[in-house]
Amino acid sequence: MHRSVGWKRMEQDGLARPQRERLPLYERTRRFRSYSSALVPGLIQTRGYTEAVLRAVQRRRVEVDDVAEAVAARMERQRLLREGDRRFSFLVEESVLRNGIGGADVLAGQLGHLLTLGSLPGVGLGVVPARADRSRMPVEGFWIFDAAQVNVELVSGYLTMTQPDEVAAYADTFAELEESAVHGEEARALIRAALESLG
């Protein structure tokens, strides 16, 4: 099954409500996989980065200014990284490490935070290096919740898929991307290089 919700409808009352409404899905998920080609995933964003992202969204398309409440709701979700027996696998494109939303100071803080993620049990971070010999290059970011649901952010709205074959297709794509990603010290080296490039 597909369910698509346009941004205008989803965010008609502001950004905080959609952030709060996602919490139960995150709380019941035990295996979380996230791929991002544009931004650092929300669960591993710093407060400053989250504020820059949500402020940009609010300015572009939302009349209600509840960014502070939306940031607080997203930060509240991050407690799940430290609770229970959940496993989190995050993959980002190398270009994400250099996308300067919020300016150099915000990005530097975010990159510094990414360097500390390895200390969290159950949390893995991979960076897909920029190179020419790739077989998969998804444009959209996606989030896989156990084997039950995939969420995709599109230009026009938010897409939810629950058909097993569609969830499996995204899981296969994630597995292939994970194989081409670097992890551990190699990933940290790319993060440090991006941090050093900020000056």
83-86: long-range contacts (C-beta < 8 A, 24 or more apart)? Answer: 84/30, 85/30, 85/122, 86/29, 86/30, 86/31, 86/32, 86/122
Q: For position 80, which CATH number holds?
A: 3.30.870
Convert the pLDDT of each residue in 59-81 to its tens digit.
Answer: 888 788 889 999 999 999 999 99
For residues 30 and 90, what is the distance between their CA atoms, to the nearest angstrom?
A: 14
Over 70: is that where the pLDDT of 83 sits?
Answer: yes
37-46, 147-156, 181-190: least confidently modelled range: 147-156
Order of strands, sheet of 87-93, starting from the edge strand that comes earlier in the sequence: 2-6, 157-161, 149-153, 142-145, 31-36, 87-93, 123-128, 182-183
Helix locations, 22-180, DSSP H:
23-28, 47-61, 67-77, 104-116, 164-180
Q: Find tokens 């209600």 and name the residue.
A: 64
More confident residue, 61 or 166: 166
149-156: long-range contacts (C-beta < 8 A, 24 or more apart)? Answer: 149/25, 154/4, 156/4, 156/6, 156/7
Mean pLDDT, rounded, for 109-125:
94
% of the chain exceeding 70 in pLDDT: 97
For residues 22 and 15, what is the distance between their CA atoms, to the nearest angstrom?
A: 12
pLDDT number for residue 7:
65
Query: In the structure encoding, which two tokens stand for residue 55, read together?
Result: 């402020």
pLDDT number for residue 157:
81
Over 90: is that where the pLDDT of 118 sits?
Answer: no
Over 80: is that where the pLDDT of 1 sits?
Answer: no
> Which range marks the domain in which residue 73 is found?
2-197
Convert the pLDDT of each residue in 170-192 to its tens digit.
Answer: 999 999 999 999 999 999 999 99
38-47, 132-141, 144-153: least confidently modelled range: 132-141
Query: In the structure encoding, which two tokens stand for residue 111, read together?
Result: 């990159």
Question: Which helix (H) or strand (E) element contains residue 89?
Answer: strand 87-93
Mean pLDDT, rounded, for 151-157:
86
32 backbone dihedrals φ, ψ, rounded to 5°? -115, 125
pLDDT number for residue 109:
97
Confidence band (pLDDT; 50, 70, 90) for 10? Answer: low
Q: Find tokens 């893995």 and name the residue.
A: 124
Average pLDDT, the chain: 91
Over 70: is that where the pLDDT of 85 sits?
Answer: yes
Question: Which helix (H) or strand (E) element contains residue 191?
Answer: helix 184-197
Over 80: is that where the pLDDT of 25 sits?
Answer: yes
Over 70: is that where the pLDDT of 132 sits?
Answer: no
Q: How many domains does the chain have?
A: 1
